[in-house]
Amino acid sequence: MAIIAAILVIGDRSPQIRDALEDQLREILQTQQARDRVGGVAHVIDGDTLDINGTRIRMFGIDAPEGRQTCRRDRSDWACGEASTDALVKVVDRREVRCEQRDTDRYGRVVAECWNGNRNLNAWMVAEGWAVAYRQYGGAIYDAEEQAAKDARRGVWSSRFDMPWDWRKRASGS
């Protein structure tokens, strides 16, 4: 902000100083943009977490069943947490992914929306029923995708299940 204010104050009175300040501002903005984007070959950690070149990325606005979490369908349990992870593996499968940072979580992970080509992976996971909309953090961003998955009984919506945040709370004993 100080650089922008200085550019405005200096105006045309000192073109060399103004140009130097504008160059500094461009450099700061480019550095910020680079920090806000992560791209490369993605490795799936679980249904809502990726690793790109050593950067852990928590997918914004979604929550997927945990790896050990089970769901109940036709009077038997099935490994819905593993199925969620497997679904993301199949769509990402060590392909190029780009993520745009929205936040940083309490564990230091980048919280981001991620794309494989033109496919928004966050929205895809919810629309296919492999993750739920995480309204506590993403608001209503994926409500339409979740409703479509529910209506079509896709993924976890084909069964009875605990919301991932409730399952984690119960599993940790809190």
**Which stretches of the chain are assigned E, i.e. beta strand?**
37-46, 49-52, 55-59, 62-63, 71-73, 76-78, 96-104, 110-116, 119-120, 132-133
Active site residues: 58, 66, 109
With beta carbons less than 8 A apart as the criterion, state whether 122 and 58 touch. no
User: 14-37 b/e with 16+ CB inside 10 Å = b?
Assistant: eeeebeebeeeeeeeeeeeeeeee
* CB half-sphere exposure, 116, CA atoms < 13 A: 21
At 131, phi and psi to the nearest 5? -150, 165
Which residue in this structure is represented by tokens 């230091």? 108
